[in-house]
Amino acid sequence: MTLRLSSLCALLLAVGCSSEAKLGKSPEPGQASAALQALTAKDETAVAQCGQAVQRCEQQVPDAGGAAVCQRLAQHCGELQEHLSEARSHVVGCLNGVQACQEHAPEQAQCSRDVTRCEPLAQGAQQDRDTVIQCSDKVQACLTRVASLPAAAAVSCENIAAACERVSALVAEAGRERAEGSSGADEHAKKAHDAMEAIGEEADNDDQGQDADEADEADEAKENGAHGAADAGRSHQSEDTDEVADD
């Protein structure tokens, strides 16, 4: 019993549960259920935060062009929900199997499944989930930033979103291989994480490039303004000279 309680605590920590998860004196029937609830709670929080970003976007957009970016952000939130669901699907399947076994076995000793079997899947899924969310944050930050800029600026966000889709595909492959016991799971998980990190570097470079472009545009505007003022001055001086000549 003590071993199983320790295993459940380890699993709940792996899927990111809080201290609010309660264990009764007889935890067997609720072991898998508690772990399932903890597993989905953080994912629901991440999706809710994405939804809040959509609301802020809609409140701050200056025009219809910005509204289109907010709609794209809402679409991204839906995609995030799907990717997180896929990342945890194999752990959910394992925990559902444990739960079904425990519910149909009057005594825990008669159940051939235990939550300890799901721990490696839960730990891997937590890493995968973090990768997906970090990549999603990059897309959200980009779309939020360009909502007040011309529509052409959203192209860079679409590039980041496409790269994150490839990251999610690697994460999904890692999850499938982990469930099958394949040794390639860790490799795909690492590739997904490295690809996500690379996206961050590219996004930073894009931001720096855009800042430089904006600075150039500002300098050009100032220069044009100075030239305009000089031209106006010369024109006024020419008019004064003409008037003197007429006199």
- The three-state secondary structure class of 16 is coil
Q: Enter the tokens of residue 168.
A: 């999610």
Look-up of token digits 């071993």: 3
What is the predicted pLDDT for the residue at 100?
A: 84
Q: What would the pLDDT profile of 208-219 be if each residue is shown by its tens digit?
A: 445 444 445 445
Do 33 and 107 contact (CB within 8 A), yes or no?
no
In the chain, % helix, strand, coil (3-state, to 5) comes to 85, 0, 15
Contact 99, 114 (CB under 8 A): no
Taking only the tens place, the pLDDT of each residue in 154-175 is: 788 999 999 999 999 999 999 9
Tell me how many domains the chain contains.
1
Token pair recorded at residue 60 = 């701050």
Domain that holds residue 12: 2-246
What residues in the chain have per-residue pLDDT under 50?
Answer: 1-28, 208-209, 211-215, 217-218, 221, 227, 241, 244-245
Residues 6+ apart with CB under 8 A from 204: none
